Amino acid sequence: MSKACLILLTLCLASSAFAQRGLGYDRVVVPQTRIDLRDLGYSPVDLIPDGESGITSLTVAPNGDVYGATSGTRSHLFVMNPQRGYVFPIGVIAGATSVTHAVAVSEAGNVFIGVAPTGHLLEYTPQELKNIEIGKALEASDLGVAVSGESISALTIDRKANVLYGLTAPGAHFFSYAISTKKFADLGSIAKAIVPGGRFEKFERDRIVSKVLVVDEHGNVFASGDDGYFFEFVAKTQTLEKLAIHVPAVPGREPYTCVDAFLLDPSGVIYGGTSDGYLFQLDPEKLTVKNLGKPLSEYRIAGLAHARDGKLYGTGGDGTEMARMFSYDPATAGYDVLGFVDVNRRPYYTWQAYVIGDIVSDDRGTVYIGEDERISKLYLYFP
Amino acid sequence: MNKANSRDDSFRSVLRRDELAVFPQGLKPLYFHGFSVRAKGEAFNLLRSGDLRMTKDDGDVWAGRHRDGMRGVRFFLAVTLIGFAVQAFAASPTVTVDYRVFPGLAQMDGNWAALLAASDGKVYAGLACHGCSGHIVYYDSKLDKMVDIGDLNTLTGEQGLGLGPQSKVHAKFGEGKDGRIYFATHGGWWFDYARFATPEGYPGSHYMAYDPRLGKVEDFGIGPRFEGMNTGAYDPKFNRIYGLTHPRAHFVYYDVATGSKVDKGRINNWDSICRTLGIDDEGNVYGSYGTGQIFKYSPRTDTIEELSEKLPIRQKGISLGRDYGKAETAWRVVVWDETTRKFYGVEESESALFSFDPAAKPENAVKRLGQVAIPELAARRDVPYATLSLTLGHDRKLYYAAVQKEFDYSASSSGGEASHLMTYDLRTGKTEDLGTMYLPDGRVVLGTNSADTGPDGTIYFVGAIVAKEDSDGRGTAGKVGDTPYRLALFIYHPDAHPKAENAHE
């Protein structure tokens, strides 16, 4: 056995036995000068409590503020002003234990929240934030229930048209909400079929449907549904159509595959990530899909974000795995695997995000990564 | 009793701490690994862990094997230096412990927490093997017999599947009302998690039970997928195996009666997972997280509550050099005392001894009782990482095996230094250093990481002793620093001498 191997084994043993981070761990995490994190509130007291802090929604407002919502025994809405630099918990969202990719901000700056399990759509009008009061109810208007008996599982907005679009669970209904007229429209389910094996295999009992929605430059909305096929809400005709294209998947796995993440590129194309961990490019004009391969061996792509270097940043790994970060450079069609999402500085030391709930970036190029665990932080990645 | 043992007994008879002196470390190059000196002037005792061993008591001088032809010179030097030392230094205690090795398992390389002295006199231990399958064994104290129950890969049905091995029981065993011994398995090598959640990686911890009446192990299956059970405890009241997983630090449990496996989510950081879960007599489960905070799991509500109590910890980066590479500070080990209905524990950084009364008001719940690090090290920056070797004796004393150097078996940065046996008397509040721990044959106890008290009051530890190194290394588990070692069960009778004639290897 070579000396190098012995050294490596010794380091491995050291880290496993002591459960103490060795120097070798530095090479498997993202560079520490590129990442930091924020507690969800003001330490050590005014924090969104553990068990209520899983970040499952992030979005960037037109003014640059980053809004987020959590899931757990209760859901909280929070905001982070990048200039201020820390997370400000705004309040507890009424009736919510889960808000998944379901926070959207209008051009006017109003924040819309799609709630699970109640299915209510809420509207929060930003106010001057003075003191953090953990546990205080969020002052929001209740706009009603999108689809009776259904919770809201995803939300997006067409800021030009001032219309919200959403998905529901468990029925996978696609709905719209016109902000100006305050009217919902249920456009039908995009996942009607029972997943093969679902009747006999309990682990496949849920319908497989897009976790996110995306609006293209023309106001058309995309999602994945039955058998992994894309659905398009065509703005011009106000109709929901099942397309002839589906998400990239190993042949035969299409019914078990959905879109995990969408990102509208400034070029007009849409990037996406699947539940099997493939990255793809959807051309909303030509209605074609290009499989860009798998950046990681893990399942899932929890989110995608642009950076000022022209690259896309995302993470892979499902709820039982350890998330890794990657970047994709459209100019070279190449990937870089960046490593575990980890912040190793006092007082956090090697605080690592194993499960990611959502990812966004702002126009300064900062990538915001929301951790979705019992104890969760908001990570800032600086490409 | 043979002549050598007679000398051993004679030697031990003078090892009273108020009669002994410390010899300076600077003399170690003169081949004295460790020794004690009787401070009566005319008599002395000398003991070392290598191949030279001498006693002089009541005029009977005896020398053991010498290394070479210089032995007479060295012996003369030793006697001379000891004479100086007797006059120059205060007393230094030693304590002799009996021991049993694990036959046929010399390559088992670690033991952490996994030690239970059960009600029937059997002493269960989990022996770790990094990169291969761990074993569970028991020592039958009535028959003076060590029994290998089996290797964990075979017991879990994973032998030959090409999976990451079930390398350890890394947490406490527990005894059920049905007499079964409950535990959970753990992985060994993690390769910086390069193989985590991969087909060739570690598949996950198994919840298991050993039935002593049938001599069989029941496998309840994998609990947390891909993760090991870093920490664990069994509660006979609710009949559950609790655990903290590695690497993702989730609080999990297995309900034996219902067969349900529950994951309550993340508690901490992988680098700072609390190493002992404490369970009170009402079945509530406690652990520590963050910077000395305490959490409570209530089985009646199935919820985790983060308490406001904090452990007495020494701040990072101020006084402890070792903490630069370490995450957060937690308790290392706690034991529950049914008499006072309090936990007693040792925190990891400076080995602070504390009590925790879960029924008290938060401001009065945690009290610092002192420090159980070796007294000479207590104020230093490099107080060694606290061991898991804490148990409450029948004499109302807490027994704690402290180390002189950072000890973690093969991962130890240095080695060869003897552990000390510390006590804290709950009746008087007095801390006592009983001295360096030696085997009857003069070898030192290199370190331990588990402890328990038997039904007859015997104190047990598992740890490392110096081993003879075969040419192919098969007789050893590895090296603690430069010292070849193997695992052993240590036996200490608080009120009696060990039976040296039973010590065998």
Nearest CA in chain A to B223: A320
Instruction: Give the mean model confidence (pLDDT) for residues B456-476.
Output: 85
Tell me whether B191 touches chain A (CB under 8 Å). Answer: yes
Cα B264–chain centre separation? 29
Give me the residue from B112, B226, B270 closest to A320, CB to CB: B226
The closest CB to that of A20, out of B193, B316, B325, belongs to: B325
CATH code: domain of residue B220: 2.130.10.10
Comparing alpha-carbon positions, the chain B residue that sits nearest to A29 is B192
Domain match, B85 and B118 both: no
Q: With contact defined as beta carbons under 8 Å apart, do B232 and B244 qualify?
A: yes
Answer whether residue B225 is part of any domain: yes
Same domain for B197 and B261, yes or no, is yes
Contact yes or no for A374 and B267 at CB 8 A: yes
Task: Please report, in tens digits, the pLDDT of each residue of chain A (383 residues total).
Answer: 444 444 444 444 444 444 467 778 889 999 999 999 999 999 888 999 999 999 999 999 999 999 999 999 999 999 999 999 999 999 999 999 999 999 999 999 999 999 999 999 999 999 999 999 999 999 999 999 999 999 999 999 999 999 999 999 999 999 999 999 999 999 999 999 877 776 565 555 678 999 999 999 999 999 999 999 999 999 999 999 999 999 999 999 999 999 999 999 999 999 999 999 999 999 999 999 999 999 999 999 999 999 999 999 999 999 999 999 999 999 999 999 999 999 988 778 789 999 999 999 999 999 999 999 999 999 999 99
The per-residue pLDDT for range A296-323, each reduced to its tens digit, is 999 999 999 999 999 999 999 999 999 9
Q: How large is the average pLDDT for residues B304-318? A: 82
A322 and B190 within 8 Å at the Cβ level: the answer is: no
pLDDT number for residue B382: 76
Domain contains B383: no
DSSP per position, B242-296: EEEEETT-EEEEEETTTTEEEEEEE-S-GGG--S--EE-TTS-EEEEETTTEEEE
- Residue B221 has what pLDDT? 98
Nearest CA in chain A to B227: A320
Name the residue type at position A86: Y
Q: A197: helix, coil or strand?
A: coil
Q: Where are the alpha helices (DSSP H) in B113-260?
A: 152-155
Angle at B339 between CA B333 and CA B345, to 5 degrees: 15
**By residue range, what is the domain housing residue B237?**
113-274
Chain B residues with CB-CB distance to A17 below 8 A: 110, 112, 130, 408-411
Task: Show residues of chain B in contact with A371, CB under 8 Å.
Answer: none
Locate B379 and state its tokens: 């104020």
**Model confidence pLDDT, tens digit, residues B369-402:** 999 999 999 888 778 889 999 999 999 999 999 9
From the list A15, A27, A351, the residue facing B190 with the nearest CB is A15
Would the CB atoms of B410 and A298 count as touching at under 8 Å? no
Q: What is the mean pLDDT of residues B427-438?
A: 97
User: Which of A13, A19, A375 is closest, CB to CB, to B410?
Assistant: A13
Do B358 and B281 form a contact (C-beta atoms < 8 A)? no
State the smallest CA–CA distance between residue B246 and chain A in angstroms: 9
Asked whether the beta carbons of residue B291 and residue A14 sit closer than 8 angstroms, the reply is no
A298 touches chain B (CB under 8 A): yes
Q: Which of B60, B92, B124 is the last residue of a domain?
A: B92
Which residues, 6 or more positions from B275, have their beta carbon under 8 angstroms from its beta carbon? B112, B113, B230, B231, B330, B331, B332, B333, B348, B388
B463 bridge partner residues: B448, B488
Arithmetic mean of pLDDT over chain B: 81
Asked whether residue B339 is assigned to any structural domain, the reply reads no
Total of domains in chain B: 2
Tell me which of A230-239, A358-367, B358-367, B476-485 is least confident.
B476-485
In a domain, B237, yes or no: yes
Torsion angles phi and psi, residue B118, rounded to 5: -80, 170
Binary contact (A20, B326; C-beta < 8 A): yes
A320 to chain B: which residues are within 8 Å by CB? Answer: 197, 225-226
B447 strand-pairing partners = B464
Whether residues B71 and B145 share a domain: the answer is no
Provide mean pLDDT across the span B193-197. Answer: 94
* SS3 assignment, position B417: coil
Give the Cα separation of A14 and B413 in Å (integer).
Answer: 9
Out of B29, B60, B92, pick the residue that ends a domain: B92
8 Å CB contact of B265 and A18: no
ipTM of the assembly?
0.91
Confidence class for position B316, pLDDT limits 50, 70, 90: low
Is the minimum CB–CB distance between A97 and chain B shorter than 8 Å? no
One domain, residues B79 and B210: no
Interface contact flag, B226 A321, Cβ < 8 Å? yes
Q: Does B271 touch chain A (CB under 8 A)?
A: yes
| pLDDT for residue B348 | 87
CA pair distance B455, B127, nearest whole angstrom: 22
Q: Please give the sequence-ordered ranges of beta strands (E in DSSP) within A137-228, or none if there are none.
A: 141-145, 151-158, 163-169, 173-178, 183-189, 214-215, 221-224
Percent of residues, chain B, with pLDDT higher than 70? 76
Q: Is B58 inside a domain boundary?
A: yes
Q: Is B246 on the interface with A (CB under 8 A)?
A: yes
A contacts of B196 (beta carbons < 8 Å): 321-322
Identify the band that residue B10 occupies on the pLDDT scale cut at 50, 70 and 90: very low
- The C-alpha of A373 sits at a distance from chain B's nearest C-alpha, in angstroms, of 7
Q: Does B269 touch chain A (CB under 8 A)?
A: yes
For residue A166, the model assigns a pLDDT of 98
Cα torsion angle, A152, A154, A155, A158, sign: negative
A352 neighbourhood in chain B, CB within 8 Å: 269-270
User: CATH code for A39-189?
Assistant: 2.130.10.10
Residue B370 in any domain: the answer is no
Q: Same domain for B268 and B171?
A: yes
Q: Which residue of A has its CA nearest to B130?
A: A13
Q: How many residues does this entry show for chain B?
A: 505
Contact across the interface for B306 and A50, Cβ inside 8 Å: yes
Angstrom distance (rounded) from CA A309 to CA B134: 49
Query: Can you read off the two tokens belonging to residue A87?
Result: 């997370």
Q: Is the same domain home to B75 and B205?
A: no
At residue B497 the predicted structure's pLDDT band, cuts being 50, 70 and 90, is very low
> Measured between alpha carbons, how far apart are the two ends of chain A, in Å?
39
Cis? peptide before B165, omega within 30° of 0: no
Of A299 and B2, the one with more pLDDT: A299
The Cα A372–Cα A361 span in angstroms is 17
- Tens of pLDDT along B25-83? 333 222 233 333 332 232 333 333 333 333 333 322 222 333 334 444 444 444 334 33
B7 is a domain residue: yes
Residue B103 token pair: 């036959």
Same domain, B142 and B269: yes
Between CA B1 and CA B457 the distance in angstroms is 25
Which amino acid, one-letter code, is at A5? C
If asked whether residues B88 and B117 sit together in one domain, one would say: no
Residues 353-382 of A with CB under 8 A from B: 354, 373-375
Statement to judge: residues B19 and B50 lie in one domain: yes
Alpha carbon separation from A59 to A86, A182, A289, A361, B300 (Å, rounded): 16, 22, 25, 8, 39
As a whole number of Å, the end-to-end CA separation of chain B is 18
What pLDDT score does B472 carry? 59
The nearest CA of chain A is from the CA of B125 a distance in Å of 17
Residues B152 and B249 in one domain: yes
Is B90 touching A (CB cutoff 8 A)?
Answer: no
